[in-house]
Each structure stands twice: as structure tokens, then as C-alpha cells.
Structure 1
């Protein structure tokens, strides 16, 4: 019921021309937010692309999951993997194509979901790739594809995408995550692209945070995605200079 209610709210916000931001608990929240975006896109005849900024793949099924936690399963459910009860309102939209999902920042994956992610050809930029090439080139390829396809871009930001030294307030920390500047650069690139149409911010646990550190970082990242920069640099004035040998301008 909660997933369906959130789906309706997101679909209504998109229909009104707004950009919905779903902020809350664990990553099962995306079952509702992405479903709402899928319904909106189906009505508009537009493809949906999901950028999943997360340490984990969240592509387990009840059969593959070692823990049984639903917050490790939302992408599998949205992509139509078997084993899920009726989570979505009728009529159920066509599943999200796995090829329209890109996992960015991945560094922890269970054996069963690794097999599924590989078999379904989900896009992946893991931390090894980011270590080698940085965030700019891999993210630019994703954004170029979204722009080329004229797709609706849904961004789902999990706090554990960040290194726990920066954002400790999460229940599933994994060392070796994105740095403060890498994360800000990603948000700035997303803003500059003009492609983001809906957003999740999930997995912040205030009881595990340290004096609000993680919450403050998240606020700053979301502000960057919506256009705030660390430095607002005005464009320099361009002064024409002639080639007069006497030096007159």
C-alpha cells in the first residue's frame, strides 16, 4: 500500500510538471518512486533511464538474497524478475528494461545478484572504473545515452554511495566509496545536463550519524544537483584587442 501511494504521488507530481524528490528510509522506497516515473513515461511514450548511485546493486530476488531484506531487491522487482508478490497497482506497467539501469559506484555485490546483473546486461560503473578513469568520462557516457534516447532520467542516491568517512549515518557502510568532491562533481554534471526529472535520496539513518554530518553532506549534494555551486564564477568580460602595431585598442 505504501509503494502504491508513493507511486501515485510521484506520477501526479510529474504530470503537473514538477520534479519529485522522494526522501526517506531504505532503498525499497524506489519501488514506489520509480514505478510512478515508469507510469508517467508510459503515458508520455518516453523511455525511462535509472541512474543508481549506490555501493550495492540491489538486484537480489527472494531466492538469491542472503538476508531477505527488501531494500536489497528493488531493482530486480522493477525489472520484472520472478519471485515478487503483487507490489504495484493495477494495471502493472511493463518492467523496467535492465539495459536502462546503470549502477554507479558499485563495490559490494552478492553472488546471486552478480549473476543476474551480468545476465541482464545492466550497466555498471564500479569503483575500480572510477579509480582508473574518474567520474567524468563514465558519467558523460551515461548522460550522452540518456540525451540521445530522449529519456526521462531518474536518479536514485543512496548515502552509502559515499565513503563512510564522509557519511557514516547508514546501516550498510562499505569502505572505499566516492569522495566529497567526486560526489559534488557528479551532482554538478547532472545539473548541467538538464536531464534529471525525478530523484530519490535514501538510506540516511540519523541514529547512526555523527552530529548530523551525513545529513549535511546530503543537503549539500542535493543543492548541487539543483544548481548551487561551491563557487559562482561570473563569465569573464571579453575585451577585443586590435592588431594595431602602435598598441591602440
Structure 2
């Protein structure tokens, strides 16, 4: 863990104390979380934690740099208005040293499980999409610990299926790893990948998706004109699940919106559609944790991608703060204003 005190992005920021009303920004409400504490104060609170890793991207022959993603997202978040966020916890980062990916994922999964067991509502920041294996295993360890074998929906907004069957694990294998693990242990689950770019996925990957009965929605069906049909598809997936793990690969967004990723999208999924998906998932009351993956600050132009990632993180934090009963209301309001 890399958090002895408050992380640098939260140590300063704009203050509007001379103005009337609630002028708080995120850097004013974030506080350090120690998940190893004997007396945790995390129950019901949104919590940030990062997985600073490039190892999976390197193994997948991608462009490294995503290890700096968690820090850059925090930097952008620091000056966002707090609104309904009275407190946000930050548990720091789990960092992958060199190529020790499996060890880092295991430590990260343990930290995620501890956060969930303490009642926190995690918004997790990558790093490459190898974060997904650790996020899922953290949820799985938590559910196993409380004896809950309910069906888990793994909802991935991504241009890529990430179902590679080769090993060692990489940023391209996490959902195949999850499939194999659930099959071996008899866990009920469903994989859904929304925003898949056909040119970026081989026939073998689509065949693997069919083998595990994955729900696949192509990028051309993810445009705003298809929003009503998409909402019906997502609703069906949510209805059949007991728990939802939402993972958003920033490379699902159009390259013009999100250039700072390892593999920019030629078409991509509009930001308003991604935000709508967040709203629908939050409205279900079944979201247990969410992560954002593949922001690569070294490839970002003018911080555009980091701002998008931070906005999505902010929406998730606001939704978690709103509570299970009306978690998606604030996000839905934001979406409706954007679409006017």
C-alpha cells in the first residue's frame, strides 16, 4: 500500500470559502482509510483504491503507462465539486512491482475483500485491465466469507472481450480467468461485454464468448440512437443477477474523447451512453463495486482522457453516497441534463 499520509492530489486544491453556500470540493472531503484498522469507519462510505499496474498490459503487448492512471484520476478529481459527498475514503494503491502481477493481484483482491467486509462501497482505479481479475476475486472472497453464492453479473464496458485463453495472465485474460474459476468452483455468474469492436477481436475470442454464454453487444449497437434497446438488454441482465461488478475500460470510448489509452477506439461508445449504463446499474441496487481501467497518462492529450475517467469515477462516488434505495437518481439527473 502506498499511503502513509494523505495522497498528494488531495493535499491541495481550489477553495471558495469566501463564497456563499456549499463550496466544498473533493480534496476537502477525502480522508485516509486504513483497511487494516481494528476500528474501521468505512461502513456505507464510498472508497477509492488504486491498482497501479502495467504488467498485464506489457504481457498483452500493449503500450505501458497505465500504472500512473490512479494518481492522475485523483489529480483530476481533487477539484471536482463535492455536492452530496460528505466524506470519501481513500485506501491508497496496491502497486505491482516489475512483473510480479499475480502477487499484486492477490494483495489487491484481499484489500478489496476487506473493504467490502467493512461496509465500504469501492470505486477502484486502474491500471491495466488486469485489475478485473483482482476486483472480481475480492468480491468473490467477500461473498464466500459471508456464505453468499448469489449470481454475479460481470458487466464490462469495453472494446475488447479480454477472453484470451493463453497464460500467463495479462490484461487480455481476466474474464477467461473468471470463467475458469467459476466453472471450477461451481459459482453462478454471467459475463456481459458492451461496446465490443469486431475488428479488434479475433474469431477465436468470439468463439470463447459463445462457449461461456457471454452477452456481447457490438459498438455500433451502443450508439445513442439504440439507447432504448440497450436499456432493455441491460435490464434483463440486471434482473437475473444478485450482485453486479461493473468494470469500465476507458478504451471503450471514442479516441477523440479518450486518446490516452493503450488501444484507442475508432468508433467507440459515446460518453452519455456509458453514463446511462452507470445510472441503470446503480438504480438496480445490486452494484457492489466498480472499477475503471486502462487510462494511460503518458498517451493523454491535454488530460482529456483523465478528465473523462475522473467524471465517471465522480458519478460512481455520488451514486454510492446516495445509498441503495435511490443510488442512481443523481446520476440519472445528470444524464438527463447532458442529453437536453
Find the partner of 1:25 among 103, 124, 127. 127
* Separation of aligned partners in 2, 1:231 and 1:188: 8
Residue 93 of structure 1: how far off its partner (Å): 7.5
Larger RCO, structures 1/2 (Cα 8 Å, 6+ apart): 1
Is the aligned partner of 1:111 residue 2:203? Answer: yes
- CA drift of 1:70 comes to 1.0
Which of 38, 48, 72 does residue 140 from structure 2 map onto?
38
Larger radius of gyration: 1
**Which residue is equivalent to 2:257?**
166
Structure 2 counterparts to residues 211-222 of structure 1, below 5 A? 211-222=302-313
Name the CA shift for 1:133/1:96 in 2 (closer, same or farther; >3 Å). Answer: farther
Measure, in 1, the Cα distance between the counterparts of 2:186 and 2:205.
18
Structure 1: 5+ residue stretches without partners: 82-91, 234-249
For 1:181, the equivalent position in structure 2 comes to: 272
Aligned residues: 217
Cα distance in 1 for partners of 2:304, 2:138 equals 31
Q: Using a 3 Å threshold, how does the CA distance of structure 1 residues 78 and 69 change in structure 2: closer, same or farther?
A: closer
- Are 1:60 and 2:164 matched, yes or no? yes
Partner of 2:112 in structure 1? 10
Residue 142 (structure 1) aligns with? 234
* Deviation sequence 1:112-162 (CA, Å, 0-9, x none): 21211122211111123224962343244333443344x110000100111
Structure 1 counterpart SS, 2:205: helix
Unaligned ranges ≥5, structure 2: 1-102, 320-329
CA distance 1:26–1:188, change in 2 (3 Å): same
Cα distance in 1 for partners of 2:334, 2:185 equals 41
1:209 and 2:300 are equivalent in the alignment: yes
The alignment partner of 2:192 has SS state of strand
Distance in 1 of aligned mates of 2:309 and 2:187: 27
Residue deviations 1:52-95 (CA, integer Å, cap 9, x gap):
010000001117xxxx87111110111118xxxxxxxxxx9726
| CA distance in structure 2 between the aligned counterparts of 1:144 and 1:117, rounded to whole angstroms | 18
For 1:204, what is the secondary structure of its paired residue?
Answer: coil
Partner of 1:55, secondary structure, is coil
Instruction: Evaluate the alpha carbon distance shift between residue 21 and residue 163 of structure 1 in structure 2; reply closer, same or farther with a 3 A threshold.
Output: same
Does the 8 Å contact 1:38/1:96 carry over to 2? no
* Aligned counterpart, 2:174: 74
* Aligned-residue RMSD, C-alpha: 2.6
Q: Is the 8 A contact 1:78 1:96 kept in 2?
A: no
